[in-house]
Structure 1
Amino acid sequence: MTITYEWRGDFDNASLDALHADGFGSPGTPADWRARLERHSLGWVCAYEDGALTGFVNVVWDGGAHAFILDTVVALHLRSRGVGAGLVAVAAEEARAAKCAWLHVDFEEHLRPFYFDACGFRETAAGLIAL
């Protein structure tokens, strides 16, 4: 298995939609990902296996010190092989290069070991309003 990572990597909407469906277990709504990312993101990281999109994370930001990772997804056949942690590591490196001081993440409880143990996040107090 050879995985390559690319900051602001190239993809097409169909490939990213398919990856989201595979990784999140539901088809979701097709999106114009490129337009969305260009409008709201500091950048994104793509993981490729033999040229195929197999992982993705979006890095949004406030234009200053805070960056946030969203939609971390890895193809099912590559889970638990370090691909997700690799995506987050590149995201952190690039957010640091953009002079961000903080990288935030929200996640469901079952992802706690991934984000804390594999990726190095630490627990903080936070708040959330369901809309």
Structure 2
Amino acid sequence: MTITYAWRGDFDNTDLNTLHADGFGHPAARTDWRARVERHSLGWVCAREDGTLIGFVNVAWDGGVHAFVLDTVVARHRRSSGVGTALVAEAADAARAAGCAWLHVDFEPHLRSFYFDACGFRETAAGLIAL
């Protein structure tokens, strides 16, 4: 089985909603991901295995030098196989190629090892307001 990664890869909203439901453990939504990423994102990376969407990461940006990793998700059956790390690496390469100097990420504490150890992010001071 071959896994392919595509910057700004084509995807179907239903497939991405299904992947999100699987990855985040909630019922499938009816989010119009295509409209969302085309309006707000520098790009995104799709991971496919034998044509099936098994991973996704969104890269939002400020229109300048800051990009932001959002919505990193990998199908449950492919977790711990390097798919997430490869998604983030592709996202970082594409953001760098687009002229971004910084790639930011926020995450829940249980993902600390993934983002710091596997993906190479480093800890910084940041602030957050819950809205």
Matches within 5 A, 1:44-123: 44-123=44-123
What is the Cα deviation at residue 30 of structure 1?
1.2
Structure 1: how far apart are the matches of 2:28 and 2:104?
Answer: 24
Q: TM-score, normalised by structure 2?
A: 0.98
Deviation per CA, 1:40-84: give whole Å up to 9, x if none.
000000000001000000000000010000000000000000000
Tell me how far apart the structure 1 counterparts of residues 32 and 18 of structure 2 sit (CA, whole Å): 13
- Aligned residue type for 1:98: A
Give 1:69's aligned amino acid.
Answer: V
Query: Conserved in 1, the CA contact under 8 Å of 2:21 and 2:29?
Result: no
CA displacement at 1:3 relative to structure 2: 0.8
In 1, Cα distance between the equivalents of 2:28 and 2:6? 24
How far apart are the structure 2 equivalents of 1:104 and 1:57?
Answer: 13
When the two chains are superposed, the root-mean-square deviation of aligned CA atoms in Å is: 0.7
Amino-acid identity (%): 79
CA distance in 2 between counterparts of 1:27 and 1:58 reads 20
CA distance in 2 between partners of 1:108 and 1:83 (Å): 19
Query: 1:18 Cα deviation (Å)?
Result: 0.2
Which deviates more, 46-55 or 28-37? 28-37
Counterpart in the other structure of 2:43: 43
Unpaired runs of 5+ residues, structure 2, are none
Counterpart in the other structure of 1:26: 26
Q: Distance in 2 between matches of 1:76 and 1:29?
A: 18
Q: Is 1:129 the counterpart of 2:129 in the alignment?
A: yes
